[in-house]
Amino acid sequence: MGEGTVLERLEMVEGANAHLIGGKLIQGNASFAVIDPATGRPFALCPEASQADLDAVVAAARAAFPAWAARTPEDRRALVHALADNIAAAADRLAPLLTREHGKPIEQARMELTVAAHHMKQLAALEIGDEVLRDDARGKVELRYHPLGVVGAIAPWNFPIALAMHKVAQALYTGNTLILKPSPYTPLTTLAVSGLAADVLPAGVMNVLAGGNDLGAWMTAHEGIDKISFTGSVATGKKVMASAAATLKRITLELGGNDATLVLADADLDKAAAGIARSGFYNCGQICMAIKRVYVDEQVRAPFLEKLVEKVSALRVGPGSEPGMDMGPIQNRPQYEKVKAYLEDAVARPGAEVLTGGSVRGGEHGEGGYFIEPTIIAGLDETVPLVCEEQFGPVMPVLSFTSEDEAVQRANATRFGLGASVWSTDETRARAVAGQLMAGTVWINRHGLNESDVPFGGMKESGYGREHGVLGIRAYQELQVVSRPTG
């Protein structure tokens, strides 16, 4: 059967077949195919927004803005919480669709939905009110925070719901209206969630448009959008920043990383191995703040590697719809081919040692699903792309060092600066090393914790600004200073 015939037989998924524009679910005229990464084959159609749809949605979001901004934060919090409750209540129903379009194991899909709902509630409870900077003989100076207007939220495919819903909660709670664009690789569960939003939010407050990369670019250039909250790759982040400059939009960029972890000689090796295996391979390694390079002190290299290999070789890989899997396929074919190329290049390097895994199961172009075995490779250096670029997949390089200064210098020798971590039983030593690592977050004896009250973001090319916590949510507000004399 030719590809054309397959596409002709595809249908939209009920409940995930429309954009949300001004409170109405609208299908539009065009559509594109969504692929199941466990088979490499298309399984459903998704509506594809046009530039006219974007103009319509911007008009709806602008129209809804004054009334939404005029509500109290408590009122907006209650509605964001109602949406979060709806998402949590629908987690069992939506998880199979999330697994089908994303590939992740069904338990992890369910967890993404429930954790996203939990984070929404926490974000919509942060302190966002006005402040008095000073009230003394020189006068009273207040810091007042206003919503920005219409926020354009552009999401990636690795956590389609969690990352999008963080933006939804922060934007809406602070009094903005919102236009959300999911990744074209994983749009369907987001469309299903938009149906839940239509049930609780006033028309035009939250809007969802599915479409390709062009739609993202149109959003960043649109005069009717005041801020772009973007999560995705460094390369696209730079395009977003350049395009947003024309209208001087506010931007928050959450971009890629190449997180290093340092295992010091005095580390608890059992805890380090367990934590590193979890951080590096959860979600198939497709996490911005996953551990992507391991540096271990030469003195403990052998026992550490033995423990790490034991953990990683025990991971169960298969279709996410089968219960009990730890890892599904890579989410999409370009990413599969990218990780496969990193793997093949690394394995062919002189001195490379594959300690576990090392093969792909999905064929040259992922015809059998985009599966790659969880892999650990030693014997590489920083000239190898697997080490110095962002692999975003389940292939982990382990390097060794002989002094902490050397390890810090090598960890920092990158244009990325998202996260890093250090494993040591000596708190003073760990803190000293942490302070030298140039990353937006440095974890000690753990890696990758994401908490709603803690600002998160990258140094260097890993981002611009922060999300989460009071610091992050303030980026959805415009600061106004009100100053008057005393008396």
Residues at the interface with ligand NAD (CB under 6 A): 154-158, 163, 181, 183-184, 213, 216-217, 220, 231-233, 236, 239-240, 254-257, 288, 390, 392, 418, 458, 463
Q: Which residue is nearest to ligand NAD (CB)?
A: 216
| Catalytic machinery residues | 167, 254, 288, 467
**In terms of CB distance, is 176 or 332 closer to ligand NAD?**
332
* Closest distance of CB 152 from ligand NAD, Å: 9
**In terms of CB distance, is 155 or 206 closer to ligand NAD?**
155
Q: Measured between alpha carbons, how far is 53 from 55 in angstroms, rounded to an integer?
A: 5
**In terms of CB distance, is 39 or 186 closer to ligand NAD?**
186
**In terms of CB distance, is 375 or 462 closer to ligand NAD?**
462
Q: Measured between alpha carbons, how far is 29 from 106 in angstroms, rounded to an integer?
A: 32
Q: Measured between alpha carbons, how far is 38 from 372 in angstroms, rounded to an integer?
A: 11
Sheet holding 24-26, edge to edge: 24-26, 19-21, 206-208, 177-181, 150-154, 227-231, 250-254, 463-464
* Closest distance of CB 486 from ligand NAD, Å: 44
* Closest distance of CB 484 from ligand NAD, Å: 40
Q: Which long-range contacts (CB under 8 A, 24 or more apart) does 339-343 make?
A: 339/372, 339/391, 339/392, 339/393, 339/394, 339/395, 340/372, 342/385, 342/386, 342/389, 342/391, 342/393, 342/395, 343/372, 343/375, 343/386, 343/395
Collect all residues with Cβ–Cβ distance below 8 Å to 421 and sequence separation of at least 6. Answer: 259, 260, 261, 262, 279, 291, 442, 443, 444, 445, 446, 447
* Closest distance of CB 188 from ligand NAD, Å: 14
Q: Measured between alpha carbons, how far is 320 from 106 in angstroms, rounded to an integer?
A: 5
* Closest distance of CB 357 from ligand NAD, Å: 21
**In terms of CB distance, is 77 or 468 closer to ligand NAD?**
468
Q: Say if CB 275 and CB 318 are below 8 A apart.
A: no
* Closest distance of CB 146 from ligand NAD, Å: 26
DSSP state, 283? G
How big is the chain by its Cα radius of gyration, in Å? 23
* Closest distance of CB 448 from ligand NAD, Å: 11
**In terms of CB distance, is 99 or 243 closer to ligand NAD?**
243
What secondary structure does DSSP assign to 398-443, as a single string? EEEESSHHHHHHHHH-SS--SEEEEE-S-HHHHHHHHHHS-SSEEE
**In terms of CB distance, is 225 or 272 closer to ligand NAD?**
225
What angle is formed at CA 453 by the lines to CA 451 and CA 456, rounded to 5 degrees?
65
